[in-house]
């Protein structure tokens, strides 16, 4: 089997679940890994070395908030030593120019900075942290002062999508090279807040139209990546470009999964870097081979001419919504479970604004 499987392109290194923010759309697992269970520096160094040997080209340091780890600069340095392109995914609330200079000297190549809104009132309310927006603005300026390229990550939903134009202009003002505008994807904590976050069809259409016109206007100035919510799609997205095809994710406690949300699948036997090598896990583990390719697919996926385009859609979504990870992704209009999505869209027409905050602790 190994000869038929390409090596992964990227590793998402979730070095911690600790985070100062309380975002109601957090996609981390409901049960977070405690600090006492996190891989120590030496084990992360081994993971990075194995990732490079496996063929990984990029490592994305994420969390939680990766900057709570005092050894983050050392891990960035190890990634650089291994020849890995390193990217920091951060909330930008725990440091500034001094830390960024240290990271850049260690070999950091890029920063992705999350924003919850274009204003302090909206950003702080959604993040659940006073002065969060102010700190993010300062952090963004520090990224550019150090000379690192900057991408803004903006998660949009019913309660902030009206300010999307201002968020894009904020990215331009902060000299970001790219902005990733992603509608909330409903896993983890976000699923519990779906009623307060899922936009209406009218909101989605307005946002999509704005992105299309702004892309043309800012061509050569700002690259805009745009991810729509699955719930308004006719066919499912190619989640992670297919299960176990290009990406692997190592959790704070060392579990290795094909995607960020895979631990939500209750009967998935999840391997650990503490018990085996990344190469063995990537090529031979049940977790990575279970939904690889097309052989596992039920109908209507098995006969669909898009089966090697969307690879059956999202397995985590199938499990969370239909109770079985091997079923067709309910977002597909051909899925026998599509009525679940239709019901959720109807509920989004209400004007619910209350959401439950996430917190570490």
Whether the per-residue pLDDT at 265 is higher than 80: the answer is yes
Can you tell me the distance from the alpha carbon of 293 to that of 243, in angstroms, rounded to the nearest whole number? 8
Whether the per-residue pLDDT at 1 is higher than 70: the answer is no
Note the pLDDT tens digit of each residue in 14-59. Answer: 999 999 999 999 988 888 889 999 999 999 999 999 999 999 999 9
User: How crowded is the C-beta side of 2, counted as CA atoms within 13 Å?
Assistant: 9
Is 153 strand, coil or helix?
Answer: strand
Mean pLDDT score, 52-78: 97
Mean pLDDT score, 71-90: 98
Can you tell me the distance from the alpha carbon of 332 to that of 318, in angstroms, rounded to the nearest whole number? 10
pLDDT averaged over every residue in the chain:
94
Lowest mean pLDDT among 122-126, 180-184, 215-219, 229-233: 229-233
Can you tell me the distance from the alpha carbon of 336 to that of 324, in angstroms, rounded to the nearest whole number? 12
Domain residue extents for the chain: 10-232
Q: In what order do the strands lie in the sheet with 223-227?
A: 223-227, 178-183, 150-156, 110-115, 85-90, 58-62, 10-14, 247-250, 256-257
pLDDT band at 3 (very low <50, low <70, confident <90, very high): very low
The reported pLDDT for the residue numbered 351 is 64
In the annotated binding site for [4Fe-4S] cluster, the residues are 19, 23, 26
Can you tell me the distance from the alpha carbon of 291 to that of 286, in angstroms, rounded to the nearest whole number? 9
Handedness of CA 157, 163, 168, 171 (dihedral sign): negative
Can you tell me the distance from the alpha carbon of 67 to that of 63, in angstroms, rounded to the nearest whole number? 9
Which comes out higher in pLDDT, residue 4 or 73? 73
Mean pLDDT score, 196-225: 96
**CA distances from residue 204 to 170, 225, 337 in whole angstroms, order as listed:** 20, 15, 23
In the annotated binding site, the residues are 19, 23, 26
pTM for this prediction: 0.95
Is 284 strand, coil or helix?
Answer: helix
The reported pLDDT for the residue numbered 352 is 67
**CA distances from residue 279 to 51, 53, 82, 141, 295 in whole angstroms, order as listed:** 8, 8, 16, 39, 22
Helix axes 132-146, 120-127, angle to 10 degrees: 100
Which comes out higher in pLDDT, residue 360 or 342? 342
Q: Does domain 10-232 have CATH number 3.20.20.70?
A: yes
List the one residue out of 133, 239, 242 whose CA is nearest residue 186. 239
Note the pLDDT tens digit of each residue in 302-330. Answer: 999 999 999 999 999 999 999 999 999 99
Mean pLDDT score, 161-165: 97
Per DSSP, 4 falls in state G
Is 85 strand, coil or helix?
Answer: strand
Note the pLDDT tens digit of each residue in 186-208. Answer: 988 899 899 899 999 999 999 99
């Amino acid at each position: 089997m190994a000869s038929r499987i390409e090596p992964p392109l990227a590793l998402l290194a979730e070095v911690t679940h600790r985070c100062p923010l309380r975002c109601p759309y957090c996609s981390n697992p409901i049960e977070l890994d405690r600090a006492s269970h996190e891989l120590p520096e030496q084990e992360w160094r081994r993971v990075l070395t194995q990732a490079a040997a496996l063929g990984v080209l990029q490592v994305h340091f994420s969390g939680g908030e990766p900057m709570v780890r005092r050894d983050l600069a050392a891990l960035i340095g190890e990634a650089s030593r291994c020849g890995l392109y390193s990217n920091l995914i951060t909330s930008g609330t725990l440091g500034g120019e001094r830390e960024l200079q240290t990271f850049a000297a260690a070999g950091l190549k890029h920063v992705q900075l999350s924003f919850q809104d274009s204003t302090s009132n909206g950003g702080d309310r959604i993040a659940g942290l006073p002065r969060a927006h102010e700190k993010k603005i300062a952090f963004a300026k520090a990224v550019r002062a150090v000379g690192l390229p900057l991408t803004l990550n903006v998660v949009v939903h019913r309660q902030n999508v009206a300010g999307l134009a201002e968020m894009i202009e904020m990215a331009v003002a902060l000299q970001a090279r790219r902005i990733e505008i992603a509608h909330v994807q409903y896993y983890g904590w976000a699923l519990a807040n779906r009623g307060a976050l899922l936009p209406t069809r009218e909101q989605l259409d307005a946002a999509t139209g704005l992105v299309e016109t702004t892309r043309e206007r800012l061509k050569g100035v700002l690259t805009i990546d745009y991810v729509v919510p699955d719930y308004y799609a006719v066919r499912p997205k190619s989640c992670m470009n297919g299960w176990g095809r290009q990406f692997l994710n190592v959790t704070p406690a060392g579990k290795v999964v094909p995607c960020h949300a895979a631990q939500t699948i209750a009967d998935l036997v999840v391997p650990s870097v503490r018990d085996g090598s990344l190469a063995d896990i990537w090529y031979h583990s049940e977790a990575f081979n279970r939904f690889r390719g097309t052989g596992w697919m039920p109908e209507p996926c098995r006969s669909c001419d898009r089966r090697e385009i969307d690879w059956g859609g999202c397995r985590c979504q199938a499990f969370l919504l239909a109770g079985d990870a091997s079923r067709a992704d309910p977002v597909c209009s051909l899925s026998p479970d599509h009525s679940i999505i239709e019901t959720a869209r109807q509920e989004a027409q209400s004007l619910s604004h209350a959401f439950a905050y996430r917190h570490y602790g």
